[in-house]
Amino acid sequence: MTKILVVEDEAVLRDTLQYNLARQGYEVITSGDGREGLGLARRVKPDLMVLDLMLPGLDGLEVCRVMRQENNTPILMLTAKTTEVDKIVGLEVGADDYMTKPFSMRELLARVKAMLRRVKLERGGGGDASGSASDGKTRLVFDDLVLDGRRGEVTLAGRPLRLKPKEYELLRFLARNRGAVLSRDLILERVWGWDFAGGSRTVDVHVRWLREKLERDPSSPTRIVTVRGMGYRFEG
Protein backbone atom coordinates (compact mmCIF):
# COMPACT_ATOMS: atom_id res chain seq x y z
CA MET A 1 0.00 0.00 0.00
CA THR A 2 1.29 3.44 -0.87
CA LYS A 3 2.13 5.34 2.30
CA ILE A 4 1.76 9.09 2.57
CA LEU A 5 3.02 11.09 5.51
CA VAL A 6 1.20 14.36 6.17
CA VAL A 7 2.94 16.87 8.42
CA GLU A 8 0.62 19.79 9.04
CA ASP A 9 -0.12 21.57 12.31
CA GLU A 10 -3.55 22.96 11.37
CA ALA A 11 -5.76 20.17 12.70
CA VAL A 12 -8.68 20.80 10.37
CA LEU A 13 -6.52 20.79 7.26
CA ARG A 14 -4.61 17.76 8.52
CA ASP A 15 -7.82 15.81 9.05
CA THR A 16 -9.14 16.89 5.66
CA LEU A 17 -5.95 15.74 3.98
CA GLN A 18 -6.02 12.45 5.84
CA TYR A 19 -9.63 11.81 4.94
CA ASN A 20 -9.24 12.63 1.26
CA LEU A 21 -5.95 10.79 0.77
CA ALA A 22 -7.30 7.72 2.57
CA ARG A 23 -10.32 7.76 0.28
CA GLN A 24 -7.94 7.45 -2.68
CA GLY A 25 -6.64 4.25 -1.16
CA TYR A 26 -3.44 5.54 0.39
CA GLU A 27 -2.27 4.63 3.84
CA VAL A 28 -2.00 7.97 5.63
CA ILE A 29 0.19 8.76 8.62
CA THR A 30 -0.06 12.22 10.16
CA SER A 31 1.80 14.53 12.47
CA GLY A 32 1.33 18.12 13.59
CA ASP A 33 4.94 18.73 14.54
CA GLY A 34 8.09 19.05 12.43
CA ARG A 35 10.40 17.11 14.67
CA GLU A 36 7.93 14.29 15.19
CA GLY A 37 7.20 14.29 11.44
CA LEU A 38 10.86 13.82 10.65
CA GLY A 39 11.07 10.94 13.11
CA LEU A 40 8.01 9.34 11.53
CA ALA A 41 9.48 9.79 8.05
CA ARG A 42 12.57 7.88 9.12
CA ARG A 43 10.55 5.15 10.76
CA VAL A 44 7.73 4.50 8.29
CA LYS A 45 9.62 5.46 5.10
CA PRO A 46 6.63 6.97 3.28
CA ASP A 47 6.32 6.91 -0.51
CA LEU A 48 5.50 10.60 -0.45
CA MET A 49 5.40 13.39 2.09
CA VAL A 50 3.02 16.35 2.26
CA LEU A 51 4.86 18.90 4.33
CA ASP A 52 3.68 22.22 5.67
CA LEU A 53 6.21 25.06 5.73
CA MET A 54 5.35 26.68 9.06
CA LEU A 55 5.43 24.03 11.77
CA PRO A 56 6.11 23.88 15.48
CA GLY A 57 9.16 21.90 16.55
CA LEU A 58 11.12 22.10 13.33
CA ASP A 59 9.94 24.12 10.33
CA GLY A 60 9.15 22.53 6.99
CA LEU A 61 12.25 23.88 5.27
CA GLU A 62 14.48 22.31 7.86
CA VAL A 63 12.61 19.01 7.73
CA CYS A 64 12.92 19.05 3.95
CA ARG A 65 16.61 19.83 4.07
CA VAL A 66 17.33 16.99 6.49
CA MET A 67 15.17 14.56 4.47
CA ARG A 68 17.09 15.38 1.32
CA GLN A 69 20.37 14.47 2.91
CA GLU A 70 18.96 11.07 3.75
CA ASN A 71 16.70 9.97 0.90
CA ASN A 72 14.73 10.84 -2.23
CA THR A 73 11.20 10.71 -0.84
CA PRO A 74 9.05 13.01 -3.00
CA ILE A 75 7.98 16.05 -0.99
CA LEU A 76 5.00 18.26 -1.71
CA MET A 77 5.35 21.48 0.26
CA LEU A 78 2.40 23.46 1.52
CA THR A 79 2.65 27.10 2.38
CA ALA A 80 0.61 30.17 3.08
CA LYS A 81 3.28 32.37 1.55
CA THR A 82 2.95 33.36 -2.06
CA THR A 83 6.07 35.10 -3.23
CA GLU A 84 8.35 33.64 -5.87
CA VAL A 85 11.25 33.86 -3.44
CA ASP A 86 9.58 31.46 -1.04
CA LYS A 87 8.83 29.01 -3.81
CA ILE A 88 12.44 28.97 -4.85
CA VAL A 89 13.61 28.53 -1.27
CA GLY A 90 11.30 25.54 -0.97
CA LEU A 91 12.66 24.05 -4.16
CA GLU A 92 16.23 24.77 -3.18
CA VAL A 93 15.97 22.69 -0.05
CA GLY A 94 14.68 19.90 -2.25
CA ALA A 95 10.87 19.97 -2.34
CA ASP A 96 9.58 18.40 -5.56
CA ASP A 97 6.42 20.41 -5.83
CA TYR A 98 4.78 23.29 -4.12
CA MET A 99 1.25 24.37 -3.32
CA THR A 100 0.10 27.64 -1.88
CA LYS A 101 -2.78 27.72 0.59
CA PRO A 102 -5.65 27.81 0.08
CA PHE A 103 -5.61 25.09 -2.57
CA SER A 104 -8.27 22.78 -3.92
CA MET A 105 -8.18 19.25 -2.54
CA ARG A 106 -8.77 17.97 -6.04
CA GLU A 107 -5.64 19.66 -7.29
CA LEU A 108 -3.61 18.34 -4.40
CA LEU A 109 -4.80 14.79 -5.07
CA ALA A 110 -3.95 15.18 -8.75
CA ARG A 111 -0.44 16.35 -7.92
CA VAL A 112 0.15 13.59 -5.41
CA LYS A 113 -0.92 11.07 -8.01
CA ALA A 114 1.31 12.64 -10.66
CA MET A 115 4.32 12.70 -8.32
CA LEU A 116 3.86 9.06 -7.36
CA ARG A 117 3.46 8.07 -11.00
CA ARG A 118 6.66 9.85 -12.01
CA VAL A 119 8.65 8.20 -9.24
CA LYS A 120 7.26 4.82 -10.18
CA LEU A 121 8.14 5.30 -13.84
CA GLU A 122 11.63 6.44 -13.06
CA ARG A 123 12.19 3.51 -10.75
CA GLY A 124 11.11 1.21 -13.55
CA GLY A 125 7.82 0.28 -11.95
CA GLY A 126 6.05 0.82 -15.25
CA GLY A 127 2.38 0.08 -15.54
CA ASP A 128 1.42 3.49 -16.88
CA ALA A 129 -0.93 3.56 -19.83
CA SER A 130 0.94 6.43 -21.47
CA GLY A 131 3.56 4.06 -22.85
CA SER A 132 6.39 6.12 -21.45
CA ALA A 133 7.45 3.39 -19.05
CA SER A 134 9.90 1.81 -21.49
CA ASP A 135 11.22 5.27 -22.22
CA GLY A 136 12.12 5.63 -18.57
CA LYS A 137 14.13 2.40 -18.61
CA THR A 138 16.54 3.14 -21.42
CA ARG A 139 20.22 3.55 -20.83
CA LEU A 140 21.76 6.74 -22.17
CA VAL A 141 25.53 7.11 -22.46
CA PHE A 142 27.43 10.34 -23.07
CA ASP A 143 31.14 9.68 -22.68
CA ASP A 144 31.67 9.28 -18.95
CA LEU A 145 28.09 10.25 -18.12
CA VAL A 146 25.66 7.33 -17.95
CA LEU A 147 21.94 7.54 -17.25
CA ASP A 148 20.68 4.12 -16.33
CA GLY A 149 16.90 4.26 -16.45
CA ARG A 150 16.40 0.70 -15.26
CA ARG A 151 18.34 1.30 -12.09
CA GLY A 152 17.28 4.93 -11.81
CA GLU A 153 20.92 5.84 -11.47
CA VAL A 154 23.28 8.37 -12.99
CA THR A 155 27.02 7.87 -12.92
CA LEU A 156 29.81 10.24 -13.85
CA ALA A 157 33.16 8.60 -14.52
CA GLY A 158 31.85 5.51 -12.76
CA ARG A 159 30.79 7.36 -9.64
CA PRO A 160 27.06 7.45 -8.80
CA LEU A 161 25.66 10.98 -8.59
CA ARG A 162 23.19 11.90 -5.88
CA LEU A 163 20.41 13.62 -7.77
CA LYS A 164 17.12 14.84 -6.41
CA PRO A 165 14.12 13.30 -8.18
CA LYS A 166 13.47 16.45 -10.18
CA GLU A 167 17.11 16.84 -11.15
CA TYR A 168 17.03 13.28 -12.42
CA GLU A 169 13.87 13.82 -14.43
CA LEU A 170 15.20 17.06 -15.87
CA LEU A 171 18.47 15.42 -16.87
CA ARG A 172 16.67 12.54 -18.56
CA PHE A 173 14.44 14.93 -20.44
CA LEU A 174 17.41 17.00 -21.61
CA ALA A 175 19.41 13.91 -22.51
CA ARG A 176 16.61 12.33 -24.51
CA ASN A 177 16.45 15.53 -26.54
CA ARG A 178 20.15 15.99 -27.04
CA GLY A 179 21.04 18.74 -29.49
CA ALA A 180 17.61 20.37 -29.44
CA VAL A 181 17.00 23.80 -27.99
CA LEU A 182 14.40 23.41 -25.26
CA SER A 183 12.52 26.41 -23.95
CA ARG A 184 11.95 26.86 -20.24
CA ASP A 185 8.21 26.59 -20.77
CA LEU A 186 8.55 23.29 -22.58
CA ILE A 187 10.86 21.94 -19.90
CA LEU A 188 8.45 23.08 -17.17
CA GLU A 189 5.55 21.43 -18.90
CA ARG A 190 7.31 18.13 -19.55
CA VAL A 191 9.24 17.74 -16.33
CA TRP A 192 7.02 19.45 -13.80
CA GLY A 193 3.65 19.01 -15.46
CA TRP A 194 1.11 21.50 -16.73
CA ASP A 195 -0.22 22.19 -13.26
CA PHE A 196 3.05 23.15 -11.63
CA ALA A 197 2.77 26.47 -9.83
CA GLY A 198 6.42 27.53 -9.96
CA GLY A 199 7.72 29.85 -12.66
CA SER A 200 10.46 29.29 -15.23
CA ARG A 201 13.00 30.30 -12.59
CA THR A 202 12.47 26.80 -11.26
CA VAL A 203 14.07 25.43 -14.42
CA ASP A 204 17.06 27.75 -14.07
CA VAL A 205 17.60 26.72 -10.47
CA HIS A 206 17.53 23.01 -11.31
CA VAL A 207 19.84 23.50 -14.30
CA ARG A 208 22.28 25.27 -12.01
CA TRP A 209 22.22 22.36 -9.54
CA LEU A 210 22.73 19.85 -12.35
CA ARG A 211 25.68 21.84 -13.66
CA GLU A 212 27.25 21.84 -10.24
CA LYS A 213 27.09 18.06 -10.25
CA LEU A 214 27.86 17.35 -13.91
CA GLU A 215 30.11 20.05 -15.26
CA ARG A 216 33.85 20.21 -14.91
CA ASP A 217 33.48 23.98 -14.60
CA PRO A 218 29.88 24.88 -13.71
CA SER A 219 30.51 28.53 -14.57
CA SER A 220 31.28 27.67 -18.20
CA PRO A 221 29.18 24.59 -18.85
CA THR A 222 29.77 22.32 -21.83
CA ARG A 223 27.10 19.67 -21.23
CA ILE A 224 24.03 21.79 -20.53
CA VAL A 225 24.47 25.03 -22.43
CA THR A 226 22.34 28.15 -22.27
CA VAL A 227 20.93 29.34 -25.58
CA ARG A 228 20.38 33.01 -24.92
CA GLY A 229 16.79 34.11 -25.21
CA MET A 230 15.71 30.57 -26.12
CA GLY A 231 16.39 28.06 -23.36
CA TYR A 232 18.80 25.18 -22.90
CA ARG A 233 20.49 22.57 -25.03
CA PHE A 234 22.02 19.32 -23.86
CA GLU A 235 25.29 18.66 -25.69
CA GLY A 236 26.06 15.26 -24.24
Nearer to Ca ion, 9 or 153 (CB): 9
Nearer to Ca ion, 54 or 133 (CB): 54
Least distance between Ca ion and beta carbon 59 (Å): 9
Q: How many CB atoms lie within 10 A of CB 101?
A: 14
Query: What is the phi/psi pair of residue 233, to 5°?
Result: -135, 135
Positions 103 through 132 that interact with Ca ion (CB under 5 A): none
Least distance between Ca ion and beta carbon 6 (Å): 12
Strand-pair partners of 31: 7
Q: Give the 3-state secondary structure of 185-233.
A: HHHHHHHHCCCCCCCCHHHHHHHHHHHHHHCCCCCCCCCEEEECCCEEE
* Residue 152 zone, left/alpha/beta (φ > 0; ψ -120 to 50; rest): left
Positions 14 through 53 that interact with Ca ion (CB under 5 A): 52
For Ca ion, how many residues bind (rule: CB under 5 A)? 3
Positions 52 through 91 that interact with Ca ion (CB under 5 A): 52, 54
9 scored as a contact of Ca ion (CB under 5 A): yes
Nearer to Ca ion, 9 or 36 (CB): 9
Query: What is the phi/psi pair of residue 13, to 5°?
Result: -65, -40
Least distance between Ca ion and beta carbon 31 (Å): 12
Contact residues toward Ca ion (CB under 5 A) are: 9, 52, 54
